[in-house]
Amino acid sequence: MEESTVSLRQLATTAKHFARRLLTIGENRLELLTVEVQEERERLLHACLVALGVATFGLLAGLTFTAAIVVMMWAFSPLAVLLTLTALYGGVGIYLYRRLTGLLRDWQTLSASLEQFRKDRACLEKILA
Tell me, yes or no, if the pTM score tops 0.85.
no
Query: For residue 20, what pLDDT is reported?
Result: 84
Q: How far apart are the C-alpha atoms of 2 and 6, rounded to whole Å?
A: 6
Q: How many CA atoms lie within 13 A of 29 on its CB side?
A: 16
Domain boundaries of the chain, sorted by first residue? 2-128
Instruction: Answer yes or no: are the C-beta atoms of 15 and 95 closer than 8 Å.
Output: no
Q: Quick check: 2 pLDDT over 80?
A: no
Helices (H), ranges, the chain: 2-73, 78-106, 111-128
pLDDT tens-digit readout, 52-91: 999 999 899 988 988 898 899 888 888 888 888 889 888 9
Instruction: Answer yes or no: are the C-beta atoms of 112 and 104 closer than 8 Å.
Output: no
Query: For residue 6, what pLDDT is reported?
Result: 66
